[in-house]
A and B are shown apart, each in its own frame.
Chain A
Amino acid sequence: MNQFQNFTKGFIKDNPVFILLLGLCPALGVTSSAFNGLGMGLATTFVLICSNTVVALVKKQIPDKVRIPSFIVVIASFVTIVELSMQAYVPALFDSLGLFIPLIVVNCLVLGRAEGFASKQNLLSSVIDGAGMGLGFTFALTLLGAVREILGNGSIFGWKFVEGDAILVFILSPGAFIAMGYLIPLINKMRKTA
């Protein structure tokens, strides 16, 4: 597998949300609008790249039996760094996403890539894998957020094209499951024909 395929696999072939079904908690929780999905996806991408880099660098120094606690400490530190920096320098974004940032720690996707990929591969592959997977995750969250925002609020990225209320259930939690349930077979069909 060359590095280009390594990067692009996150979008459709191994999409973290639709194919690997990892990181569903934030995917269902924050995607009440396309913008929230995009912000959460980019924050996760940053953490993924950083944690993959560090894990790939120190993998030889970490004994097998304590690798998971060590990886979690690395990931949690990066998440807290993102949270504090966001609160300090982009308070507007923190207002809408602040609630969800700590959730990145328990995102199986981040630990899954650290454990399943970065701890076995070299530095370059790990960084590219983190970027590809993160952007694939961002793509999935933005898509899910857009579908829910269009159906639930009659708007896209905050631009309203239907007056008044739309199908409110899509903004609420059940709507996340319904939208997700239709998107998964759709993406899987695309993956087979592609």
Chain B
Amino acid sequence: MAKKESTFLNMVITLFVVTMCAALALGGIYIATKEPIALAQKAKTEAALKAVVASDVTFDATEQVKHGVADGDTIRLNKLLSNGELVAYAVETFSRNGYDPTPIKIMVGFSLDGKITGTSLISHKETPGLGTKLGEPKFADQFIGKDPKTFSLVVKKDGGEVDAITAATISSRAFCEAIESALELLNKEGGNN
């Protein structure tokens, strides 16, 4: 078959067919992957929830308090219950002040007396190899067991007590800020401390 001439009609038909095939293929893939994607994200949030509570705490139910409306703007306070009794808090929080405008989303665990029991990075778009170290134990584990009432949640460069990541001070600051906003909501909603 000879190559098609570049007449106006041929070009319009070709582009129409090509884009229609592409649209159909993409629509199909979107529908096929929608559910697995939602599941994967839910699993990730749940894993983060388990990772931030103290290892001796077990819970069988969660109760959620939302703060904010838009998806990227919501702080979710999860009250972890065991046999109907409150055992710990896990707060899904965020900060927009990282190195990339995309919010850094983290999960922070608090014990009933207000101490931090762990942090876990959920999603972010910080610099690969630098800001990504927010999730590594060297940085994330320094918060464990700290009481925010006595521990200053500010990086050392700004006069606080947090060891920032080398060459990623901005990401480290944003991480601290996210914990601060989690704490704010906890103090407002938690009530008992």
Of the candidates A30, A66, A88, A165, which one forms a contact with B40 in the assembled complex, judged by CB atoms under 8 Å apart?
A88
B36 near A32: Cβ-Cβ < 8 Å = no
Which residues of chain A come closer than 8 Å to B7, judged between CB atoms?
Answer: 63
Determine if A84 and B167 form an interchain contact, defined as CB atoms under 8 angstroms apart.
no
Question: B33: CB under 8 A from chain A?
Answer: yes
Main secondary structure of the interface of B (DSSP, over half): helix
Which one, B3, B11, B15, B33, contacts A87 given CB within 8 A?
B33
Check B6 against A64 for contact (C-beta < 8 Å): yes
Cα separation A156 to B26 with both chains bound (whole Å)? 37
In the complex, residue of chain A having the shortest beta-carbon distance to the beta carbon of B167: A168
Number of interface residues of B (CB under 8 A): 34
The answer on a CB contact under 8 Å between A81 and B26 is: yes
With A77-B26, A168-B166 known to touch, is A66 a contact of B15 (CB < 8 Å)? yes
User: B4 at interface (Cβ–Cβ under 8 A)?
Assistant: yes
Chain B residue with the shortest CB-CB distance to A168: B167
Given contacts A84-B30, A91-B44, A168-B167, contact A63 B129 (CB under 8 A): no
Question: Is A172 a contact partner of B19 (Cβ separation < 8 A)?
Answer: no
When chains A and B are docked, how far (Å) is the Cα of A62 from the Cα of B33? Answer: 31
Known A-B contacts A33-B128, A81-B26; A172 and B167 likewise in contact (beta carbons under 8 Å): yes
A85 at the interface (CB under 8 A from B): yes
From the candidates B22, B37, B40, name the one contacting A73 in the complex (CB within 8 A).
B22
Among B15, B22, B41: residue with most chain A CB under 10 A: B22
List chain B residues, Cβ under 8 A from A65. Answer: 6, 11
Q: Mark B11-52, 1 if CB is under 8 A from A, else 0.
A: 100110011001001100110010011001101100000000
Please indicate the chain A residues that have their CB under 8 angstroms from the CB of B1 in the complex.
60
B60 to chain A, nearest CB (A): 26
B67 within 8 A of A: no
Question: In whole angstroms, how far apart are the Cα atoms of A18 and B25 in the complex?
Answer: 34
Known contacts: A60-B3, A63-B14, A88-B40. The answer to whether A77 contacts B128 by CB under 8 A is no
Do B128 and A152 have beta carbons less than 8 Å apart? Answer: no
User: Which residues on B sit within 8 Å (CB–CB) of A30?
Assistant: 128
How far, in Å, is A113 (CB) from chain B's closest CB?
18
Q: Are A66 and B44 in contact (CB under 8 A)?
A: no
Interface string of A130-159 (1 = CB under 8 A from B): 000000000000000000000011000000
Residue in B closest to A91 when the chains form the complex, CB atoms: B40
- List CB contacts (< 8 Å) of A98-133 with chain B: 99
List chain A residues, Cβ under 8 A from B2: 60
Q: Are A32 and B33 in contact (CB under 8 A)?
A: no
* CA–CA, A22 and B18, complex, Å: 26
Q: A77-B22, A152-B129, A168-B166 are in contact. Are A84 and B14 (CB under 8 A)?
A: no
- Could you tell me the distance between the alpha carbons of A88 and B168 in the complex, rounded to whole angstroms? 30
CB atoms of B6 and A81 under 8 A apart: no
Is B5 in contact with chain A by the CB < 8 A criterion? yes
B157 beta carbon closer than 8 Å to chain A: no
A-B contact pairs, 21 of them (CB 8 A): A32-B128, A36-B128, A63-B5, A63-B11, A63-B14, A70-B15, A73-B18, A80-B26, A81-B25, A81-B29, A84-B30, A84-B33, A87-B33, A88-B33, A88-B40, A91-B40, A91-B43, A91-B44, A99-B128, A153-B129, A171-B129
Other contacts beyond A70-B15, A70-B18: 14, CB < 8 A: A33-B128, A65-B11, A69-B15, A77-B22, A84-B33, A87-B40, A88-B33, A88-B36, A91-B40, A91-B44, A99-B128, A152-B129, A153-B129, A171-B130
The 8 A-B residue pairs with the shortest CB-CB distance, nearest first, are A88-B36, A32-B129, A88-B33, A171-B129, A65-B6, A63-B6, A91-B40, A77-B22
